[in-house]
Structure 1
Amino acid sequence: MQAHREDFFDTHVHLDRLPDELDPATEIGCAQRKGIGRFLLPGIEPQNWPGLLEIATTLPGCLTAPGVHPLAAHLWNDDIASQLRTLVDRPQVVAIGEIGLDGHLEHPVAEIQEQALRGQLRLARQAGLPVLLHCRKANGRLLDILRQEQAADYGGIWHAFSGSQETALAAIKLNFAIAFGGPLTWPDARRGPEVLKALPAEWIVLESDAPDLAPHPHRGETNRPSYLSLVAERVANLRGWSLAETASITTANACRVLRLK
């Protein structure tokens, strides 16, 4: 059984960061023809926020999650917090992201990353918005901070999850869905498929992360939103679902954690 048009939800796609040769409107059209109807655009740094809002205002099915990525954590201050606070009531803004910790980075240092993360978690709690999490080599510390900041009250999505089943279940207890993207399809993928098969169905969501982390057989190329269909096929295969079931389950999950109708 094939998925119906506009059944899939891409919970993490950087339409504002596609290479110049890829037009966002054209890419959305290609994705729609593959059955992908909703797209969540995360922020990286404050200078990106106006572009995110413009795309979400002009292109069908697009929503935004402005935020300050760990890479840009040094930019976080009272003025940036105030700017972000003014955006949370916009109808296109449904989450804050992507925010978190990145242990691969030497700069900004961990202390600066944690300050930006805590500030945005507190803003999310005040605004009643979920968050999109970014985490590399800092799973335990991130979970500690999420608990301290009462993240279960607002939850969200753990983007590009690459941790253990234990970490995934700990995140689920805090009301975070687990997002799977291109790496799930790579021939050498081991832990991702095992985690996916072990999770409760109601906590699985899909993401492309375009233009990064393209799925097989496009690994190493520029990722495109339409390639989410390859991730969906892999999820369906691993879980024993039809594509229609995969669309129905993962989109319902995304809508629930993002508090969308």
Structure 2
Amino acid sequence: MQFIDSHCHINFPELAAQADQLQQQMAQNQVTHALCVSVNLPELPSVLAMAERYGNVYASVGVHPDYEDTAEPSVEQLVELARHPRCVAIGETGLDYYRLEGDLEWQRERFRTHIRAARQSKLPLIIHTRSAADDTLRIMREEQAADVGGVMHCFTESWAVAEAAIEQNFYISFSGIVTFKNAVELKDVARRVPLERMLIETDAPYLAPVPFRGKMNHPALVRHVAEHIADLRGVSVESIAQATTDNFYRLFQRAQH
């Protein structure tokens, strides 16, 4: 049995400082690989360095929608950066109307830029959406994101949004939030998502699953997400581990090389 953390930020200083220890904890919990996800270009070197240092860590290239005061990436820049041999995806990208107010057209344009870069690179997308599901799905359709597919990471939306994303060739990734007692609607989504469209993640250092809620998250804890989903669905944790591992390699095809 093995687990893969499909989305974490182990390049962030609080986790990078204990990188070797994290590797040991992953091994003890049968977490074989992790995808370290980019949130802006100034910190991208630390993401790539983590993937270069550890053979079981992959990288992505992208600028998170929450980063307002940062240089806008161009399609050409993202495509060029994504040539790095350890890069398996474009993102994280998307829309977040929760934290920021005012005219957010710049967010939508940045999102379009990432989708265009993904299509040019033939790499899947890692999409973040918060309080912006309708616009996210609309832009995905308009920019033909289905051509490359990807993952709706740290999913917290309704079953209707999950279905619409799956129809566009996207996977649904569950984080530690699914283990929270009040996440009733999300637990229902976790029961309903087809196994062949499911991924698991930590989003470390955030969102540690129960019983570690409130503590610093790390990739080894992704097995608790799998165990909770197995309980929700009334299936073995082995079946969740197998499906999400297979799905990871099906989606992130460059990770196999």
TM-score by length of 1: 0.92
Check if 1:118 corresponds to 2:102: no
* Equivalent residue letter for 1:58: R
Q: From 71, 85, 91, give the equivalent of 1:97.
A: 91
What residue is the counterpart of 2:27 in the other structure? 32
What residue is the counterpart of 1:57 in the other structure? 52
SS in 2 for 1:70: coil
SS in 2 for 1:205: strand
Change over 3 Å in CA distance of 1:104–1:122 after alignment to 2:
same
Change over 3 Å in CA distance of 1:32–1:109 after alignment to 2:
farther
* Equivalent residue letter for 1:233: E
Unaligned 5+ runs, structure 2: none
Please, what is the CA RMSD of the aligned residues?
1.7
Q: From 65, 68, 72, give the equivalent of 2:63.
A: 68
SS in 2 for 1:16: coil
How many residue pairs get aligned? The number is: 255
The 1-side partners of 2:31 and 2:147 are apart by 29
Identity score, percent? 35
What residue is the counterpart of 2:217 in the other structure? 223
Runs of 4+ aligned structure 1 residues displaced above 4 Å come to: none
Unaligned 5+ runs, structure 1: none
What residue is the counterpart of 1:181 in the other structure? 175
The 1-side partners of 2:13 and 2:26 are apart by 14
CA distances 1:140-184 after superposition (whole Å, capped 9, x unpaired):
110000000001100111011111101001000111100001011
Check if 1:257 corresponds to 2:230: no
What residue is the counterpart of 1:166 in the other structure? 160
What residue is the counterpart of 2:201 in the other structure? 207
Once the two structures are overlaid, the 10-residue window that deviates more, 247-256 or 130-139, is 247-256
What residue is the counterpart of 1:193 in the other structure? 187
TM-score by length of 2: 0.94
CA distances 1:85-121 after superposition (whole Å, capped 9, x unpaired):
2221221001011100001132684101011110111
SS in 1 for 2:11: helix
Kept after mapping to 2: 8 A contact 1:181/1:215? yes
* Equivalent residue letter for 1:202: E
Q: From 5, 20, 26, give the equivalent of 1:10.
A: 5
* Equivalent residue letter for 1:178: I
Kept after mapping to 1: 8 A contact 2:15/2:205? no
Tell me how far 1:72 sits from its aligned partner. 1.9
Once the two structures are overlaid, the 10-residue window that deviates more, 22-31 or 195-204, is 22-31
